[in-house]
């Protein structure tokens, strides 16, 4: 059992195994960009970039990566999966300028017998033949034992027999995959402890898969048992449930096992975003380290605890990963959550104004789960310009719209204590509302001014869930007036801006000398 601190290599296989994710295919230039980011910025120890003999596009990508890697001194850190085919994979890799072959041998007797139709001796001879040729061509050689986890469980003598035949060959890394993601941490620890103790002079890599959600835990067990390298992908890309996440593995090995790594954590999120964009596979908002929400506190009590002394902070600080901590605003918000967001915006509000803004946030939170810092200026502007006039209250409003059909609205309002219910129709939801509210207001000898301008805005970023700000300019005869409405629905934002103007003008009318 190896628990002392030591350097663990991380080999990223996003560009090879990660590209076996359903629906993922990187272009040559995307592959080059990811390879550069992995080696130059994230500083992983090795990258596996392709499988030999796949396509001309793959050959172009590997050639470009190797050309760049040669210039930058990374040539021997770029690896390509090759097959037991004597000269063909080796020649393909050589033609791209490659320096390293990761040879795919059969790590289970079942695969050897049923897929190849060969005995252990026959397969070993084929593997050694390809290794000899690769060595003659000047390639560095690593060997995968495909389906090793099942092979070790079901036919251990086969695994030992293969190792006995290969251990004297010029192999740098024996790479042991849990190909189908079937292992649990105790199984990983027991099997790797056996392999490391049985062959102490050899270097072993662990290649985990995440079918049971145990990939990171299995990595910990393998490192504890003595492996020298671990294979990962960005954003857990890979077949089926994917591979181990490089972000999770890097942070766990550092924080929980005190291992030494080459990885620069400050680039984990940036490369996650790059791979997310190129792959089209979205990262879950709650994904550890790289998810959009993992450094967001939602409950007001958490923000309060952080305000009073970092009570809810851990080693996983956002600054570590070039991120910032945020405090979500919504129905669970408290004063501390609002205060943290105001600090971020460099705004200072009085206690009374903070109460008003917080009340509005909680109210909006019932219909919009999270309010962002970008939404906040809209809410503040709306609340601070609002007067406490309640001459008219919108009690209920239902809008129906259809393609190529007129919109209809049903409203219930309270005007000076008297309730009215009516309907309206128009070319859109807002137009239908104007029709309906006009019918009510004629009882009070009030006519809405003409619209001079109608502007809809959402905060920067363009999220579909963003708050909508509607600013309406009214032609009031002697002057132009602007009112603002803020809501998650743009039609209702316009309606709220209209109600605000009506309240202002009814108030002025009630307090005019002629009233």
**Which residues have a catalytic role annotated?**
16, 146
On the 0-12 / 13-18 / 19+ scale of CB atoms within 10 A, 16 is buried
Alpha-carbon gap, residue 452 to 449, rounded angstroms: 9
Query: What are the b/e assignments for 163-180, b being 16+ CB within 10 Å?
Result: bebbeeeebebbbbbbbe
User: Helical H runs in 280-324?
Assistant: 300-307
Say how many C-beta atoms besides its own lie within 10 A of residue 330's C-beta.
18
Q: Is the Cβ–Cβ distance between 387 and 507 less than 8 Å?
A: yes
Residue 171: φ, ψ to 5°: -110, 125
Strands (E), 364-506: 392-402, 405-415, 418-426, 450-457, 468-475, 480-487
Alpha-carbon gap, residue 478 to 510, rounded angstroms: 19
- Dihedral of CA atoms 146, 149, 153, 159 in degrees, nearest 10, equals 40
Geometric angle at alpha carbon 126, from 120 and 131, rounded to 5° = 120
On the 0-12 / 13-18 / 19+ scale of CB atoms within 10 A, 250 is buried
| 3-state DSSP assignment of residue 424 | strand
Joined together, the tokens standing for residue 235 give 């954003």
Joined together, the tokens standing for residue 408 give 């209809």
In 3D space, the residue among 354, 306, 350 whose CA is nearest the CA of residue 327 turns out to be: 306
Partnered with residue 296 across adjacent β-strands are: 326
Angle between helices 429-441 and 490-510 (to 10 degrees): 20
- Dihedral of CA atoms 491, 495, 500, 504 in degrees, nearest 10, equals 140
Is the CA virtual torsion 224, 226, 232, 238 positive or negative?
Answer: negative
In 3D space, the residue among 138, 154, 139 whose CA is nearest the CA of residue 106 turns out to be: 154
DSSP of 18-38, one letter per residue?
GGGSTT----HHHHHHHHHII
Measure the N-to-C terminal CA separation of the chain; round to a whole number of Å: 91
Report CA-CA distances (Å) from 88 to 123, 205, 252: 17, 25, 40
Report CA-CA distances (Å) from 514 to 508, 509, 510, 511: 11, 8, 9, 8
| N residues, the chain | 515
Is the CA virtual torsion 11, 17, 18, 19 positive or negative?
Answer: positive
């Amino acid at each position: 059992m190896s628990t002392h601190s030591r350097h663990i290599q991380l080999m990223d296989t996003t560009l090879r195994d990660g590209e076996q994710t359903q629906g993922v295919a990187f272009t040559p230039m995307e592959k080059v960009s990811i390879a550069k980011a992995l080696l130059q910025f994230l500083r992983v120890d090795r990258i596996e970039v392709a499988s030999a003999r796949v396509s001309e596009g793959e050959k172009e990508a590997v050639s470009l990566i190797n050309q760049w890697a040669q210039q930058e001194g990374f040539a021997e850190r770029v690896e390509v999966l090759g097959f037991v085919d004597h000269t063909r994979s080796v020649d393909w890799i050589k033609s791209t300028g490659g320096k390293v072959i990761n040879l795919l041998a059969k790590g289970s007797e079942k695969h050897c017998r049923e897929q190849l139709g060969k005995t252990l001796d026959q397969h070993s001879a084929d593997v050694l033949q390809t290794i000899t040729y690769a060595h003659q061509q000047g390639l560095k050689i690593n060997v995968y034992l495909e389906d090793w986890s099942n092979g070790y469980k079901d036919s251990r003598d086969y695994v030992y027999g293969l190792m006995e035949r290969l251990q004297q060959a010029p192999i740098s890394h024996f790479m042991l995959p849990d190909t189908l993601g079937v292992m649990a941490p105790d199984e990983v620890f027991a099997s790797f402890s056996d392999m490391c103790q049985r062959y102490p002079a050899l270097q072993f890599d662990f290649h985990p898969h995440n079918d049971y959600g145990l990939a990171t835990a299995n990595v910990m067990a393998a490192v504890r048992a003595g492996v020298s390298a671990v294979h990962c992908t960005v954003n857990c890309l890979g077949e089926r449930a994917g591979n181990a996440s490089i972000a999770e593995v890097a942070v766990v090995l550092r924080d929980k096992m005190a291992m030494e790594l080459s990885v620069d954590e400050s680039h984990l999120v940036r490369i996650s975003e790059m791979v997310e964009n190129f792959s089209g596979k979205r990262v879950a908002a709650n994904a550890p380290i790289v998810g959009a929400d993992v450094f967001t506190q939602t409950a007001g009590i958490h923000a309060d605890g952080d305000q009073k002394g970092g009570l809810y902070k851990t080693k996983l600080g956002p600054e570590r990963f070039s991120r910032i901590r945020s405090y979500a605003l919504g129905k669970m918000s408290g004063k501390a959550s609002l205060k943290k967001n105001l600090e971020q915006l460099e705004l200072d509000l009085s206690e009374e104004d903070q109460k008003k803004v917080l009340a509005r946030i909680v109210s909006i939170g019932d219909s919009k789960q999270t309010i962002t810092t970008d939404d906040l200026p809209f809410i503040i502007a709306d609340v601070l310009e609002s007067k406490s006039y309640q001459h008219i209250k919108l009690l209920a409003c239902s809008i129906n719209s259809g393609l190529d059909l007129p919109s209809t609205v049903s409203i219930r309002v309270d005007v000076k204590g008297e309730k009215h219910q009516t309907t309206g129709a128009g070319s859109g939801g807002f137009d239908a509302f104007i029709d309906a509210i006009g019918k009510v207001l004629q009882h009070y000898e009030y006519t809405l001014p003409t619209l001079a301008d109608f502007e809809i805005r959402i905060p920067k970023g363009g999220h579909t869930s963003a708050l909508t700000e509607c600013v309406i300019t009214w032609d009031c005869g002697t002057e132009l007036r602007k009112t603002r409405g803020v809501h998650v629905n743009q039609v209702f934002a316009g309606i709220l801006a209209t109600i605000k103007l009506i309240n202002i003008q009814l108030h002025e009318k009630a307090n005019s000398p002629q009233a």
